[in-house]
Structure 1
Amino acid sequence: MHQAVVSLIGRDHPVELPVWRSFWDRLHTGGLLRGEAAALLAALSTRMPDRVTLHALLASLDERRPPRPAGPFAGAVNIVGTGGGPATFNISTAAAFVAAAMGVPVVKTGSRAYTSRFGSIDLLTRLGITPTTSYEHTQAVLEHCGIAFAGFFVYPQEVTLLARAVAPLDIRYLGSFVNTLGPFLADMPVAAQVTGVSRPRHLRALGHAAEHVSRATGRSVWLAVNEAGADELLAFTTNTIRAYEDGADSEFALSPGALGLGPGRPDDLAVPEGGVERSAALFLDVLAGRCGRPARETVCLNAAALAVAGRLTGDWHEALAAADAVLRHGSALPLVERLRSLEAAHA
């Protein structure tokens, strides 16, 4: 059995960079024994790896990526969660549109549904928006619309190869580790990333991932947790932010009372019955400001986080007011239509 699998199962010592390199080489050439890919994913998903193992894993994937343009998305931000938690409407996607309407350049990564009912890609497909297919394509869309949704090209090829290697088993369940680590697997050269973490037990390991990404790329990375277990910021409960930026890490809290936000519950953000079509309709209602206070303020808080993390402003009250103005005037809705029109023009 490959040493990477043995070490992950035994947990007796870290999996270092040469071992990960060997594992990926065998995965590419078809040299793994039957079941080794499934065993690796199961071990990773059962318990998050230690700091050395996680840093080496990410470094081993980084060095295998094809070259990309240098710094194509100056000043852009990304908002993406780890999945899991209460089933809410697509808050982070709504926040991405609102932040873009505020003047924050946004390049968002995402996926189809894994632990939630509808992922961001499912929603975008229903809205008639197709994710980009290359860095050049992403840059063109960002310049035209102020927002772009990156496709699967940003993820390592090794994820696809692992999925094929474990078939007919479903990687969505066997490899929950891949979804949890997903925000740090995407090679998206933005200036800042806000990531909601639904499971506090993963926070330490994801902190190791955030540390690696921030030091390797210079990206500012925020990890957010709250008592509701949502993978986005919530306006009606205290959110704790762990920030990795400028070679250091720090922690701060966002309190609803201090920000002037009102009460609410996770049920106020629930996914509606009626499938992705009804979810898309609700999503457009939210962008038009036709939603309850908890939903409006939650979207505004996440959009404000993008503005602050991206250093458009350092004033949370100012950022919240700007986001609220976008929703009250429906200023984000034209961005949906602009992305649709751009897609139609290239069809």
Structure 2
Amino acid sequence: MEPKNLLEKILSHISLSEVEASYLMHQIMEGQLVPTVVAAFLVALRAKGESAGEIAAFAKVMREKATPVLAQGGQIIDTCGTGGDGSGSYNISTTAALLLAGGGYKVAKHGNRSMTSRSGSADLLEALGIRIDLGPEQVAACIDHCGFGFLFAPSLHSSMKNVGPIRKELQVRTVFNLLGPLTNPARANVQIIGLYDANRVLQMAEVLRLMGTQTAYVVAGLDGLDEVSIQADTRVARLKDGEIAEFDFDPENFGYPKASLEEIRGGGPDENAQITLGLLSGNIQGPKKDILALNAGFAISAADGVGLKEGFHKAEELIASQRGKVAIEMLRTYTHSL
């Protein structure tokens, strides 16, 4: 199998087979291709439009090459977005993940430092006093003991060192923007994935189905937010028992008034940490609390197999209980004891 033949195929707008896509990703991850050729493949795939089969094959190889995080069996949730929506919102999905951990769910939060925003999930957790420089066994122990483990992407995806500089130089979105949420090293089996592009939610749900995910929601705000939005409707694809359904979600139908992006805006890591603590202490109300309840509610709906209304109700109860704040304190103590 010659890389140049695969490139010609992509340039002819023909999708790669699973075997071809797997071979290509192995070549990229193992540093077998020079940077200019890798860049050519990434741009050609973007121009053609990556197929669900290609994305799934790439993700399987990337996950296979990741350092595994072996938490004890059972249900594990990940709330992860592609990022890059440019909204400047506070760290919604990470705050939701901490809230879920406080509610007794097990969460393997896959994330990184800020790429385009002022504060990534790693930056927020550090500002909260939670250690993120942990090995895979320690992260697994955090999931088992605290209900939350942070899977710091650069530490667990060492093969990405061959791609990072190329992505940085290209400065355009590539298939790797989609692969992050699909390659959780803890093999999360319940996922809430936020996308920057509402036109891709159905495709991403199909990718998750091909990868064997049990239950998932793929969401994209019609305003470009890679979360369940409070400003606009959200395009949603639900995966359950191998079946995919797509619908538009309006928060006002569930009693949540629309609000502007300005009202959910965050700042740097320290400011966002104060917002997270304020929310999980029950001290911040309004749109910031509402969008937290919406995103946590979707995760609860997926994890518990209940309707969205019940998911939102439980999320509101968890926020009021301040158990998310207890989860932060527990994580702070436990991670510093390792």
Name the TM-score class by shorter chain.
0.7 to 0.9
Q: Deviations over 1:165-206 (max 9, x none)?
A: x3xx72682554312331013333223101111212333542
Worse-superposed segment, 177-186 or 23-32:
23-32
**Mapped contact 2:214–2:240 kept (Cα < 8 A):** yes
Partner in structure 1 of residue 296 of structure 2: 303
Partner in structure 2 of residue 322 of structure 1: 314
Q: Does the alignment pair 1:249 with 2:247?
A: no
Partner in structure 2 of residue 109 of structure 1: 110
**Mapped contact 1:133–1:153 kept (Cα < 8 A):** no
Q: State percent identity of aligned pairs.
A: 22
Residue identity in the other structure for 2:83: G
Residue identity in the other structure for 2:175: F
3-state secondary structure, aligned to 1:223? strand
CA distance in 2, matches of 1:182, 1:307: 22
CA distance in 1, matches of 2:191, 2:182: 10
Offset at residue 267 of structure 1 (A): 1.2
With structure 1 as the length reference, what TM-score do the two structures score?
Answer: 0.84
Offset at residue 338 of structure 1 (A): 1.1
Which runs of 5 or more residues in structure 1 are unaligned? none
Q: Deviations over 1:217-248 (max 9, x none)?
A: x4312111222211111245433321123122
3-state secondary structure, aligned to 1:188? coil
**Mapped contact 1:262–1:293 kept (Cα < 8 A):** no
Cα distance change of structure 1 residues 66 and 106 upon mapping to structure 2, 3 Å threshold: closer
Cα distance change of structure 1 residues 340 and 172 upon mapping to structure 2, 3 Å threshold: farther
**Mapped contact 1:41–1:175 kept (Cα < 8 A):** no
Cα distance change of structure 1 residues 76 and 247 upon mapping to structure 2, 3 Å threshold: same
Offset at residue 314 of structure 1 (A): 1.0
Q: How many residues align?
A: 335
3-state secondary structure, aligned to 1:224? strand
Of residues 199, 211, 214 in structure 2, which corresponds to 1:201?
Answer: 199
Of residues 313, 319, 331 in structure 1, which corresponds to 2:323?
Answer: 331
**Mapped contact 2:194–2:218 kept (Cα < 8 A):** yes
Partner in structure 1 of residue 138 of structure 2: 137
Residues 177-216 of structure 1 aligned to structure 2 (within 5 Å): 177-213=175-211, 216=212
- The root-mean-square deviation of aligned C-alpha atoms, in Å, is 2.8
CA distance in 1, matches of 2:178, 2:77: 19
3-state secondary structure, aligned to 1:100? helix
**Mapped contact 1:17–1:59 kept (Cα < 8 A):** no
Cα distance change of structure 1 residues 96 and 160 upon mapping to structure 2, 3 Å threshold: same
Cα distance change of structure 1 residues 144 and 265 upon mapping to structure 2, 3 Å threshold: same
**Mapped contact 1:17–1:60 kept (Cα < 8 A):** no
Partner in structure 2 of residue 283 of structure 1: 276
3-state secondary structure, aligned to 1:271? coil
Partner in structure 2 of residue 92 of structure 1: 93
Partner in structure 1 of residue 20 of structure 2: 19
Residue identity in the other structure for 1:321: H
3-state secondary structure, aligned to 1:109? strand
With structure 2 as the length reference, what TM-score do the two structures score?
Answer: 0.86
Partner in structure 2 of residue 271 of structure 1: 266
Offset at residue 7 of structure 1 (A): 3.0
**Mapped contact 1:287–1:332 kept (Cα < 8 A):** yes
**Mapped contact 1:233–1:301 kept (Cα < 8 A):** yes
**Mapped contact 1:16–1:52 kept (Cα < 8 A):** yes
Q: Deviations over 1:137-168 (max 9, x none)?
A: 2331122212222222785444222225x3xx
Residue identity in the other structure for 1:247: G
